[in-house]
């Protein structure tokens, strides 16, 4: 065997992810991202879904990154794969033209400690599946982490600035986890502020709203 691949969900040797883990994924709660033209979510951040995200986020496993990128691309195209639960916003249930795929960059501290930005890894995998070029259209403003030390930082969430190259572009914005949607809403606003023609959002895992009650 040339490559020893283990399933990111259960550790079984052979295929990542294995069919049983894909079937075990739970459907996500719906989510709104203010300002986004559409929102696609793959699965709930629970059980196997959480294992997939951890494999991507903390171990940088390539096989699961590739599979998640392919899945985000499929969800964006409105393709419902019957093999796993997938919720697609009705408004986005048809192929949409996009020019590029981008991501909301993580903090410099996270990037340093992990050696990579999992959102960028996902964006690159998704862009490859969609056969477009990924582009760095956002930069993070300020140095505070999302769960940073300052009270105001926690209250206001992350802030982003859109690059001028976003002007007129139809953008697919991808991320690994959607919790309150605040990060993706801020990133969407920044892209629109920079003149993006459309912003579609696709995230892998929806972290349940039970822990984070919806606030208007």
Residues in contact with Zn ion, counted by CB under 5 A, come to a total of: 6
H or E element at residue 20: helix 19-24
3-class DSSP assignment, residue 187: helix
Residues β-bridged to residue 13? 6
> Encoding tokens for residue 116?
């990579």
Give 91's DSSP letter.
Answer: G
The minimum distance between CB 17 and Zn ion, in angstroms, equals 5
Within 7-46, the residues that bind Zn ion by CB under 5 A are 7, 9-10, 12, 18, 21
The minimum distance between CB 22 and Zn ion, in angstroms, equals 8
Q: Report the residue number, 45 or 124, with the smaller CB distance to Zn ion.
A: 45
- Environment class of residue 166 by beta-carbon count within 10 Å: exposed (0-12), middle (13-18) or buried (19+)? buried
Q: Report the residue number, 25 or 77, with the smaller CB distance to Zn ion.
A: 25
Site string for Zn ion, 165-184 (x = CB under 5 A): --------------------
3 state SS for 151-185: HHHHHHCCEEEECHHHCCCEEEEEEEEECCCHHHH
Q: Report the residue number, 63 or 93, with the smaller CB distance to Zn ion.
A: 63
Q: By CB under 5 A, tell whether 63 contacts Zn ion.
A: no
The minimum distance between CB 42 and Zn ion, in angstroms, equals 16
Burial 175-205 (b: 16+ CB within 10 A, else e): bbbbbbbbbbbbbbbbbbebebbbbbbbbbb
Q: Report the residue number, 45 or 169, with the smaller CB distance to Zn ion.
A: 45
Q: Are 140 and 160 in contact (CB under 8 A)?
A: yes
Q: Report the residue number, 50 or 209, with the smaller CB distance to Zn ion.
A: 50
The minimum distance between CB 179 and Zn ion, in angstroms, equals 25
Q: Report the residue number, 23 or 58, with the smaller CB distance to Zn ion.
A: 23
Residues near Zn ion, by CB under 5 A:
7, 9-10, 12, 18, 21
């Amino acid at each position: 065997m040339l490559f020893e691949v283990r399933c990111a969900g259960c550790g079984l040797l052979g295929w990542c992810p294995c069919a049983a883990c894909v079937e075990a994924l739970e459907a996500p709660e719906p989510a709104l991202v203010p300002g986004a033209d559409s929102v696609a979510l793959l699965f709930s951040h629970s059980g196997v879904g959480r294992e997939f995200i951890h494999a991507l986020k903390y171990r940088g496993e390539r096989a699961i990154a590739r599979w998640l990128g392919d899945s985000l691309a499929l969800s964006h195209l409105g393709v419902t794969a019957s093999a796993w639960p997938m919720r697609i916003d009705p408004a986005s249930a048809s192929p949409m033209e996009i020019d590029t795929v981008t991501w909301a960059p993580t903090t410099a501290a996270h990037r340093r400690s992990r050696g990579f930005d999992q959102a960028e890894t996902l964006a690159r995998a998704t862009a490859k599946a969609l056969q477009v070029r990924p582009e760095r259209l956002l930069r993070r403003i300020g140095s505070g982490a999302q769960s940073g030390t300052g009270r105001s930082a926690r209250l206001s969430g992350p802030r982003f600035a859109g690059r001028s190259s976003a002007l007129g572009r139809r953008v697919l914005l991808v991320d690994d986890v959607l919790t309150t949607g605040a990060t993706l809403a801020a990133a969407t606003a920044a892209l629109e502020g920079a003149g993006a023609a459309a912003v579609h959002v696709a995230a892998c895992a929806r972290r349940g709203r039970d822990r984070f009650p919806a606030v208007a």
